[in-house]
Amino acid sequence: MLSDVPLTRDLVMVGGGHAHALVLRAWGMKPLPGARLTVINPGPTAPYTGMLPGYVAGHYGRDDLEIDLVRLCRHAGAALILGEVDAIDREARSVHVAGRGDVGYDVASIDIGITAAMDLPGFAAHGIGAKPLAAYAARWSAFLDQVAAGEVAPEVAVIGGGVAGCELAMAMAHAMAMTGVVPQVTVIEAGPGISGMGDGARRRVDAAMAGLGVTVRCGVTVAEVAPGAVRLERGGEVPAQLCVGAAGAFPHGWLAQTDLPLVAGFIDVRPDLRVRGDDALFAVGDCAHMSHAPRPKAGVFAVRAAPVLKHNLRVALAGGAMRHFKPQKHYLKLVSLGGKRALAEKFGVAVEGAALWQWKDRIDRAFMDRLSDLPVMQVPQPKGQVAKGYDVEAKPMCAGCGAKVGSGVLRDALGGLGPATGDVLTTAGDDAAVLRQTGGGFQVISTDHLRGFVADPVVMTRIAAVHALGDVWAMGAQPQVALASVVLPQMSPALQARQMAEITQAATEVLGDAGAQLVGGHTTMGAEMTIGFTVTGTRDTAPITVAGAQAGDVLVLTRPIGSGVILAGEMQGKAAGRDVTGLLAQMAAPQGETAGALAKARAMTDVTGFGLAGHVAAIARASAMEAVLWQDQIPVYAGARALSAAGVASSLMRANRADAPVAGVEDPLLHDPQTAGGLLAAMSAQDAAAALAEIGPAARIIGTLRAGMPGQITLEASR
């Protein structure tokens, strides 16, 4: 999102809870000019807890209850950092992200929810908390599969007899019964009865649990969670192949290690949701304690607090009057009863039935629709008369390698450079220029930069560095030094300093791990973030080029294709967040060791903007060979084929298709521009087998070369 207003203030939102998700949606509709927004969350999605019992019971799929933070952050113009905050320095105004470092803020908000992990002997090894969702969902899914296969007994113990524990017990009992087994679910409650509801609701829930075969044991205390059983304080045990902790709300442990004002481990906030004694820090949701209006831990309060939080964050960044959050004293409780029935309770009155589950389902789906029904990016169309040649069907210009000039245009532009002379042995046409070193050996040099496609400067820098190093690795050279070229959006000196510190640290780490040194570079400000590197490398013997492949060589590819279509889909709000973050993690992974395993390649390049077909054609043309590719052997990033089938494509796709046509089976992904793509090597079959054994399953043999028309490519459906 471009703006003529320089960025001057950093807003950091820690956690992807319900309130933060709603603020992100509203922020995208009306952003605050000059504010830079960053969200920090352990994963690319956040669960909507209201649908958790329905998911456990089998009424919903995992995607139905997960808030896609990647899409929300794109909508809001926010950077998303995947990581866990484990400390905060309120004096320096920074939060520490494990494995990454400090992230500075001017204003910050915390919405990290709670955990259900319990401090009981054996629980960490043999139990699982109902929150956070990801770990519990994975354990439950695996357990249910084992139960259905008859591999384990359908024995479950739920520690905690509140609303959450009872809902989960009934949901698990229902799901196991649907597999054809008789479930054995026990709720263990230290109090005299199930809690969190009135007498009428309690009687109905008791009856519902009894109908599902759920046993409730009240007035007992857990001594230990052991393999296959939960042992009780006064003797006896409850058989349990799965033990789930749902006994109340527990604050995240790292909060206790801070100087934050806490009440029973939860962050104490004022009526305006600011942390008591700190005007730059907010807290909301289950992790916060409202001393002015104490309430149970329930998602309804986070949802109701979101408009107040949004307003007050803007006030903290830009000035104005704060609003107070006044949570309602009475709220409607909707309790899932295992099957598609629900109980409703308010003012002590409780009713149940299938119609109430349908009502709850509509409420829950409407909430999720609010967070997923986001505007789709459109290409702004000019008004009035335009010059001839304007493409009214043009796609939004992609970032990364999707923003490159087409290979045909580039070849024409570089055609007049002339032959190499002196110590310059090769010029344009390969991954890097090759120079003769004084005293022997060779040096390669290449430059590359990327138009930003992810707002997180650390991830963008890592990918840009790996991408630039690809040219050196592809020639079998050892990276030596690098110069950075950085364009920052307009921003204040304070934000410049923060962002350049992050970029420099990330670049130094990636280059240092590759054996190279960052020695300087150039910075400027412009319309958007662009990061690039000029990299040199050395090699004792002649570098590997795109020429030299022989008939009978196989083609080895070390990474999937499809990054261009996923990045285009993400830009349009159509790609799944998990697919996007999985792609980014792969793109940021170095390939130095992989390049070493391909040392016996006869020809090699890295697959980047011109797509797999373009780079196969480069090897085939330079080696006077034709290529045959096998579609079923070409690895593809998760989500790429579905997006491609839906018509999503990079803006460079058309030029790539024209520059490297492929005969045989049709596959648009062969022309998809790649960023930080895999290495493509032509090797003997024997050497390729040895390389694949060293690299692992990520690398594949995708085709072969044979005598024929130089540069021609044929795609066959299978090997």
| Catalytically annotated residues | 401
Instruction: Compute how many other C-beta atoms are within 10 angstroms of the C-beta atom of residue 258.
Output: 14
- What distance in Å separates the CA atoms of residue 244 and residue 381, rounded to the nearest whole number? 55
- What distance in Å separates the CA atoms of residue 345 and residue 337, rounded to the nearest whole number? 13
| Three-state secondary-structure class, residue 683 | strand
In the sheet that holds 155-159, the strands lie side by side as 127-129, 242-245, 155-159, 184-189, 214-218
Q: State the burial class of residue 47 (Cβ atoms within 10 Å of its Cβ: 0-12, 13-18, 19+).
A: buried
Residue at 549: amino acid letter: A
Instruction: Compute how many other C-beta atoms are within 10 angstroms of the C-beta atom of residue 231.
Output: 15
- What distance in Å separates the CA atoms of residue 611 and residue 564, rounded to the nearest whole number? 9
- What distance in Å separates the CA atoms of residue 105 and residue 109, rounded to the nearest whole number? 10
- Write the DSSP assignment of 649-669 as a string of letters: --TTHHHHHHHS--EES--GG
Q: What are phi and psi of 535, to 5 degrees?
A: -125, 140
- What distance in Å separates the CA atoms of residue 109 and residue 27, rounded to the nearest whole number? 14
- How does DSSP classify residue 407? H
In this structure, is the dihedral angle defined by the CA atoms of residues 545, 551, 552 and 555, taken in order, positive or negative? Answer: positive
With vertex at residue 157, the alpha carbon angle to CA 156 and CA 162, rounded to the nearest 5 degrees, is: 125
Helix (H) or strand (E) holding 101: strand 101-104
- Write the DSSP assignment of 185-210 as a string of letters: EEEEESSSS--SS-HHHHHHHHHHHH
- How does DSSP classify residue 253? G
Query: What token pair was written down for 66?
Result: 């997960």
Four-point Cα dihedral 378, 379, 385, 390, nearest 10:
-140
| Three-state secondary-structure class, residue 479 | strand
- What distance in Å separates the CA atoms of residue 249 and residue 114, rounded to the nearest whole number? 6
Q: Which residues does 366 contact at the CB level (< 8 Å), separation at least 6?
A: none
Secondary structure of 415-454 in HEC code, one letter for each residue: CCCCCCCCCEEECECECCEEEECCCCCEEEEEEEEEECCC
